[in-house]
Structure 1
Amino acid sequence: MRNALPPRATLPRQPLGLIDSFKAARRNLLDIIPEAALHQPIVSGNQAARWHMITEPDAIRRVLRDRLDDYPKSDVTKSILRPAIGNSLFVAEGDDWRWQRRAAAPVFTHRNVANLSPIMSQAAERAAGRIAGAEGRAADMLAEMVTATFEVISDVTFSGDEGFDRAALHHAIDGYINGAAKVSFFDMLNLPDWVPRPSRVVASGTMNAMKSMADGVIEARSDGHRRDLLDLLLAGEDPDTKRKMTTPELRDNLLAFIVAGHETTALTLAWALYLCAFDQGVQDRARAEAQAVLGERVAAQSDIDALPYIRQIIDEALRLYPPAGILSRSARERDELCGTEILKGDTVMLPVYALHRSRQLWDNPDHFDPDRFAPGHKTARFTYLPFGDGPRICIGMSFAIQEAVIILATLLARFRFTLVPGKTPQPVLIVTTRPEGGVWLNVDAA
């Protein structure tokens, strides 16, 4: 299917008014990205407030790195995330963010992430066992990958804590994302955060119960064996100030890692499996690589360097369907980007979905081509942002990549996936870029 294109969003050719923008944002945030963002470095507008979408790498560098403190996360982003994950690394700004990042960074060293890989291999084995039960019929790979990655993230955060209801936590997180994480009309009007958004008030009750349960687990930890992510965070401190996280700070960051760490990787894997079914030539090549390295066993961290094509598929899936399809910032000071004046208070958006498909930056950008990430092919900085970039680049990037390679290699070595007619997933961005309707694929033994 080299000349066919995998599913993509149809971006609007004409500017949207306030009401249409609100409807689009509630339905699918990709629908607010103008088609012009695929062709030009900046697109600006004014619906209740001034906004700019940037796809020019030098301007993106200025926002994400050179003037980081002048472009904090937008109030809408914080309003959506804060009820679930508090003032964690994903929400905090300035000095508050810096000390948390310094305290948490040692947790995600290569050694610590590698030490967590057996949990990922065990989850891959269990996923393969479940999928084997679907041989000869279709199964929803999105649901399977959500299950697998939630097993991983819960095992590396709350291992051995029998009193913690993981199923209830998963339900609470999904309920919050599905019900409260959509843009409110109050957000579109730029009303302050203290004006209640009813859906978030309702959903936050369930999350508050989960926070209390997590607090109890944290306070009960005292053995200090450093067996999981929670133990590593409990032992962590800011090397500059020697400050350690309090129970609420630990809890908010753990919940942030759970929210961000399982869904984004699950989506990447689900899209990657769909793309492999979409292009059987890619799938055959990946399977040959995986079988040559693994034989009959499950993948492990020590196999990753020997699985470069599997990694390329993951990188290309992240390009075509970045989990964070739009990054939103607020300008604290006047500035100029791409020759356009930026006023204090303007919203500056980085439409990652459009950036990754820019006609100015990528060849055949809508095609699925893992070889664009082959060894020796250099991707220009700030043109590819699946994990963000600059000082705030995702702290769990190496964790996510390791997990995705282990699970994808294990599955492709054992199974052949083919498309189900009439079941084409469409990319829909609410908080993350999800395949609407799931990823239904036929499953057969390899």
Structure 2
Amino acid sequence: MDMIAPGAEAGVPVRVPLVTKPMGVWGSFQTGRQNVLELIPEIALHQPIVSGRTVKRWHMVMDPGALRRILKDRVEDYPKSDVTKMILRPAIGDSMFIAEGAHWHWQRRAAAPAFSPRNVQALGPVMTAAAEIAAERIGQTEGRATNVFDEMVTTTFQVISDVTFAGGRAFDREAVHHAINSYIESTARVSFLDIVGAPSWIPRPSRLVTGSAMRAMKTMADQAIEDRRGAPDHGIPDLLDLLLDGEDPETQRRMSTSELRDNLLTFIVAGHETTALSLAWALYLCGFDPAVQDRARDEAKAALGDRAATVADLPALPFCRRIVDEALRMYPPAAFLSRTARAKDRLCGREVLPGDTVMLPIYALHRNHLLWPDPHRFDPDRFAGDASYDRFAYLPFGGGPRICIGASFALQEAVIILATLLARFRFTRVPGRDPRPVLILTLRPEGGVWLSVERD
């Protein structure tokens, strides 16, 4: 099925072609290997819930009230699905992202102080420095097409590695970057065995391919952590220092080396990939709508002049922040979540039984016609100060007690980098090179985000 091109609907950026007829198990597998989002039925954009059966019973939920129930009110009855855990565990073990119950609670409590507003703001200079380096690098491409997705990946990986292992000689950034990319490209794809609900002990061949790279990455991280334990005083505390100092206030438990490593790798994998995607899609949308880009540029220039943005500038950059918010609505990095029902329940009048798969298609939620007017249109002013929408209609970082612990970090970083770039450059779409939104583990722009760059 071909991508819906921007020209197919006036004023509509690229979007995913959704399902209009039944696929069956084999068709679902083939589609899921290429793009998980193409498993979503088109009717999900017009209804609060869609149910069906492939091998297991499943329900796709796009209703804010039901999502509040799943993610907040009865969160213990909807643990992350076995497929989610199988895909993520090879990279991030039993970190707080996939841990359940008491094991999740104590890790979250121990890590929470590291992501306090004060500590996130203190990491701002790292983001400002990376924004400046990115601007210098992009400036060298002036007058020609540039893949800004690659540029943003480089930039956000610099940020996350600098705030995670500052000065860590044992941390080979290139090797870690390569391992993460290999993992996402192959290991994180949906397997046929996942689709048919085969038990986790049956090996998934694709998840054996990058095993050695992942093992090397974990060994490297373990060594960096042990080095830091032996020589903790290296200047301004980074994320590793804050987590080493972290303690669950209820149990006084601290993270072991393996627990620290799994959580740090979670922040590295999620922290740079998701922010890079948010920025790449935001720049694509600015290229798509020059009037929005001009308005954001005027705001950024007025606030920054010729310098890079800092944390102190964020209150003067509300429109740049709204562009990031709208990019996260239209192209949420975590665009498809999955839970397994543990207890009998009712969602939107539908019976949910233990063992049912409950899908949270965030992409469809954010484009549901019952919740968002003209949902395929790019409109940052949806998020203006007087805008109103249900909290559980907008879930780029999840919701409830398990909302992404690094959300404020990601938003701060994204606005600093976006404003710095828009104040200096004009980005224009390259004809015939629009990206294709494809979900593997995250919602990536297949083919890159190619934009022409001109110094403003």
Band the TM-score falls in, shorter-chain normalisation: over 0.9
Aligned ranges 1:37-436 → 2 under 5 Å = 37-222=44-229, 223-225=231-233, 227-436=237-446
Cα offset, 1:45, TM superposition: 1.0
Cα offset, 1:202, TM superposition: 2.2
On the 8 A contact 1:164/1:214 being kept in 2, the answer is: yes
Q: Deviations over 1:294-315 (max 9, x none)?
A: 0011000010011000000000
Q: Which residue of 1 aligns with 2:29?
A: 22
Whole-angstrom CA distance in 2 between matches of 1:198 and 1:40: 37
Whole-angstrom CA distance in 2 between matches of 1:123 and 1:331: 42
Whole-angstrom CA distance in 2 between matches of 1:162 and 1:42: 50
On the 8 A contact 1:65/1:389 being kept in 2, the answer is: yes
Q: Deviations over 1:378-432 (max 9, x none)?
A: 2211000000000000000000000000000000000000010000111101111
Cα offset, 1:13, TM superposition: 1.1
Q: Which residue of 1 aligns with 2:3?
A: none
Cα offset, 1:113, TM superposition: 0.4
Cα offset, 1:164, TM superposition: 1.4
Whole-angstrom CA distance in 1 between matches of 2:387 and 2:115: 27
Q: Deviations over 1:296-347 (max 9, x none)?
A: 1100001001100000000000000000111100001111111111111000
The letter of the residue matching 2:430 is V
- Secondary structure of the equivalent of 1:382? helix
Whole-angstrom CA distance in 1 between matches of 2:192 and 2:287: 39
Cα offset, 1:103, TM superposition: 0.3
The letter of the residue matching 1:12 is V
On the 8 A contact 1:38/1:355 being kept in 2, the answer is: yes
Deviates more, 1:134-143 or 1:372-381: 372-381
Deviates more, 1:70-79 or 1:377-386: 377-386
On the 8 A contact 1:25/1:31 being kept in 2, the answer is: yes
On the 8 A contact 1:417/1:443 being kept in 2, the answer is: yes
Whole-angstrom CA distance in 2 between matches of 1:211 and 1:136: 41
Identity across the alignment (%):
64
Whole-angstrom CA distance in 2 between matches of 1:55 and 1:296: 44
Q: Deviations over 1:107-144 (max 9, x none)?
A: 00001000101000010001001100000111000000
Whole-angstrom CA distance in 1 between matches of 2:311 and 2:451: 27
The letter of the residue matching 2:371 is L
- Secondary structure of the equivalent of 1:221? helix
Whole-angstrom CA distance in 2 between matches of 1:273 and 1:132: 15
Whole-angstrom CA distance in 2 between matches of 1:333 and 1:205: 38
Cα offset, 1:203, TM superposition: 1.3
TM-score of the two chains, using structure 1 as the length reference: 0.99
Cα offset, 1:3, TM superposition: 4.5
Whole-angstrom CA distance in 2 between matches of 1:366 and 1:167: 37
Q: Which residue of 1 aligns with 2:455?
A: 445
Whole-angstrom CA distance in 1 between matches of 2:269 and 2:170: 20
Cα offset, 1:15, TM superposition: 2.3
On the 8 A contact 2:170/2:223 being kept in 1, the answer is: no
On the 8 A contact 1:84/1:204 being kept in 2, the answer is: no
Whole-angstrom CA distance in 2 between matches of 1:151 and 1:184: 32
On the 8 A contact 1:335/1:342 being kept in 2, the answer is: yes
- Secondary structure of the equivalent of 1:113? helix
On the 8 A contact 2:58/2:356 being kept in 1, the answer is: yes
The letter of the residue matching 2:25 is L
- Secondary structure of the equivalent of 2:392? coil
The letter of the residue matching 2:163 is V
The letter of the residue matching 1:227 is P
When the two chains are superposed, the root-mean-square deviation of aligned CA atoms in Å is 1.1
Whole-angstrom CA distance in 2 between matches of 1:436 and 1:83: 24
On the 8 A contact 1:137/1:442 being kept in 2, the answer is: yes
The letter of the residue matching 1:261 is G
Q: Deviations over 1:38-91 (max 9, x none)?
A: 011111111111110000111101100011010000000000000000000111
- Secondary structure of the equivalent of 1:45? strand
The letter of the residue matching 2:302 is A
Number of residue pairs the alignment of both structures matches: 446
On the 8 A contact 2:368/2:375 being kept in 1, the answer is: yes
